[in-house]
């Protein structure tokens, strides 16, 4: 791999990581950011994020990233390492899902 390609890949990965970890990032993720995260081996996982720490899709009345209202909100997702979503062990016998869940919804 050339130095230029390696630096570009590192830049993209760093940009996505910064966007995903920023609590102040409240705008929807762009398609490029989602693609970069998925290309880096991440997958969307519903029902695993703590309140305010989701990456997107937090249901009606929310704007996107960082807007989930309750822990493990079923309609809010976050990126996790690929292949780990459905096997994540969460409190109260909850499990993550690659599809939205009808549990732990904000009131």
Does residue 21 form part of some domain?
yes
The rounded mean pLDDT for the chain is 76
* Per-residue pLDDT, 22: 44
pTM over 0.85: no
Does residue 82 form part of some domain?
yes
Token representation of residue 46: 């519903």
Question: pLDDT tens across 38-78, in order?
Answer: 778 899 999 999 999 988 777 665 667 888 889 999 989 89
Does residue 101 form part of some domain?
no
Does residue 105 form part of some domain?
no
Cβ-defined contacts of 59-66 (< 8 Å, 24+): 59/105, 59/106, 61/106, 62/106, 63/26, 63/27, 63/28, 64/26, 64/27, 64/28, 64/29, 65/25, 65/26, 65/27, 65/28, 65/29, 66/23, 66/24, 66/25, 66/26
Which domain does 62 fall in, by range?
3-95
Does residue 45 form part of some domain?
yes
Does residue 103 form part of some domain?
no
For the chain, what is the domain count?
Answer: 1
**Residue 99 reports pLDDT greater than 80:** yes
């Amino acid at each position: 791999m050339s130095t230029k390609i390696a630096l570009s890949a590192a830049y993209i990965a760093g940009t996505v990581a910064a966007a995903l970890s920023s609590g102040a990032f409240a705008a929807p993720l762009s398609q490029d950011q989602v693609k970069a995260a998925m290309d880096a081996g991440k997958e969307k996982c519903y029902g695993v994020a703590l309140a305010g720490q989701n990456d997107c899709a937090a249901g009606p009345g929310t704007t996107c990233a960082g807007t989930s209202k309750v822990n493990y909100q079923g309609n809010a997702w976050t990126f996790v390492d690929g292949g780990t979503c459905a096997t994540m062990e969460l409190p109260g016998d909850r499990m993550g899902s690659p599809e939205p869940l009808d549990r732990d919804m904000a009131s």
